[in-house]
Amino acid sequence: MLIVMHHTASEEQIRAVEQAVAALGLKAQPIPGGERTAIGVLGNRGYVDDTTIRDLPGVLEIIHVSKPYKMVSRDFHPMATVVKVGSAALGDGGPPVVMAGPCSIESEEQMMAAAHLVKAAGAQVLRGGAFKPRTGPHSFQGLGVEGLKILHAAGREVELPVVTEVMRIEQLEVACRYADMLQIGARNMQNFDLLKEVGRLRCPILLKRGMSATIEEFLAAAEYIVAEGNDQVVLCERGIRTFETATRNTLDLSVVPLVKALSHLPIIVDPSHATGRRPLVPIMARAALAAGAHGLMIEVHPSPDKALCDGAQSLDGQGFALLMKELRFLQDCFAKLNDPAFETQV
């Protein structure tokens, strides 16, 4: 931690800060500069609570060097985490994993049709929403437990593991019974009680980035889960909220290489929610793969025009099959590109 003093801070003010640092059991080291003095804080193990200091007279600014996360950080745990969902494995080195299916589970018929499409096209995980977070209370809220059972049956039928969103703690038990991976949605990324509870489960978690979450907050949210003992966490970039309204959200693909540098957890990309527009989905899926994503989450619906939710961003069977074909082709391209031999041989 670094405490920056005002240009005009007095000797007494500097000494008062040093004493406040000492009161925390830490050591203060003044660094006089040409224009002002800064005070380094030594001896801390992790994030220092600065509330007894930052308001003292003469203090201009406090700069934290430690981060609010540690267990998910690559700095402290360099080895990549590989998360297994059924027979799929997400993480460094492995091929990208595609999770696909409808936004909402609407009926057994729709879900089965979707499952067959998804399986036939070659995806490794089946998705479907039983509990739906909707902006207003007057929209379709999902089929609930009935939907979970349908999803489970569909997964069995096509032999794919299934992932579904949970929104409240009471849903965890039943969701674990029917699903192979649980999703925490963007709106719940800082629902800390929910994070702690899924941290006590033995099942892999898909954590979506909040609409206005910084990368630091995103990783700190993952830290909540890992700190409770569950390190099977996959991060998911799904677009952030900006002033731009032409797309539903702004897909922040730079986050992929950045998170891969900062954390050992795998990260995937959801171009469907990020763009909100079907024609952009396959293009941004390509771009996500190029950015190094460990996987993708894609909305697929047997007949998007009739979807009860997010139809405008869902691919149909044909569109998804073509996309999967493209992704397999690109996966080979990127495998060659990332081969250490590329630099010298190609």
Write out the binding residues for a copy of itself, residues 60-99 only, by CB under 8 A: 61, 63, 65-66, 68-70, 75-76, 78
Q: Which two tokens stand for residue 26?
A: 């830490």
190 to 209, contacts with a copy of itself by CB under 8 A?
Answer: 190-194, 196
Give the C-alpha separation, 225 to 49, whole Å.
22
Residue 244 near a copy of itself by CB under 8 A:
yes
Tell whether residue 114 is a contact of a copy of itself (CB under 8 A).
no
Burial class for 87, CB neighbours closer than 10 Å (0-12, 13-18, 19+): exposed
CB of 248 to a copy of itself, least distance (A): 10
Residue closer to a copy of itself (CB basis): 138 or 202: 138
State the CB neighbour count (10 A cutoff) for residue 212: 11
Nearest distance in Å: CB 71, a copy of itself = 9
Token digits for 260? 């891969």
Options 24, 38, 89, 153; binder of a copy of itself; rule CB under 8 A: 38
Query: Helix or strand or coil: residue 159?
Result: coil
Cβ distance to a copy of itself smaller for residue 72 or 234: 72
Which residue of 121, 163, 284, 300 would you call a contact of a copy of itself, by CB under 8 A? 284
Under rule CB under 8 A, residue 214 binds a copy of itself: yes
Identify which of residues 156 and 306 has a Cβ nearer to a copy of itself in the complex. 306
User: Binding to a copy of itself by residue 179, rule CB under 8 A?
Assistant: no
Apex 203 CA angle, 200 and 204, nearest 5:
110
* Parallel/antiparallel/unpaired status of strands 59-63 and 37-42: unpaired
Which of 19, 87, 91, 113 is closest to 58 using CA atoms?
A: 19
Taking the complex as a whole, how short is the minimal distance between the CB of residue 330 and a copy of itself, in angstroms?
A: 7
Minimum gap (Å) between residue 297 Cβ and a copy of itself: 16
Does position 173 interact with a copy of itself (CB under 8 A)? The reply is no
d(CA 17, CA 213) in angstroms, rounded, equals 32
- On the 0-12 / 13-18 / 19+ scale of CB atoms within 10 A, 277 is middle
Is residue 57 near a copy of itself by the rule CB under 8 A? no
State CA 151 to chain mean position distance: 23
Q: Which is nearer to a copy of itself, 181 or 251 (by Cβ)?
A: 251
Nearest alpha carbon to residue 293 among 315, 262, 270, 275: 270
CA atoms within 13 A on the CB side of 304: 21
- From candidates 200, 242, 335, 339, binder to a copy of itself by CB under 8 A: 242
13 binds a copy of itself, rule: CB under 8 A = no
Reduced to 3 DSSP states, what percent helix, strand and coil does the chain have, rounded to the nearest 5?
Answer: 40, 20, 40
Q: State the minimum distance, in angstroms, from the CB of residue 150 to a copy of itself.
A: 20
Q: How far is the CB of 161 from a copy of itself (least distance, A)?
A: 25
Q: How far is the CB of 40 from a copy of itself (least distance, A)?
A: 4
HSE-CB for 274 with a 13 A CA cutoff? 26
Tokens 């500069």 correspond to: 33
Q: Round to whole Å and give the CA distance between 195 and 184.
A: 8
What's the length of the chain? Answer: 346
**331 touches a copy of itself (CB under 8 A):** no
Asked if 283 touches a copy of itself (CB under 8 A), the answer is: yes
Q: Which is nearer to a copy of itself, 161 or 304 (CB)?
A: 304
Nearer to a copy of itself, 92 or 193 (CB): 193
Choose, by CB under 8 A, the member of 12, 19, 22, 43 that binds a copy of itself.
43
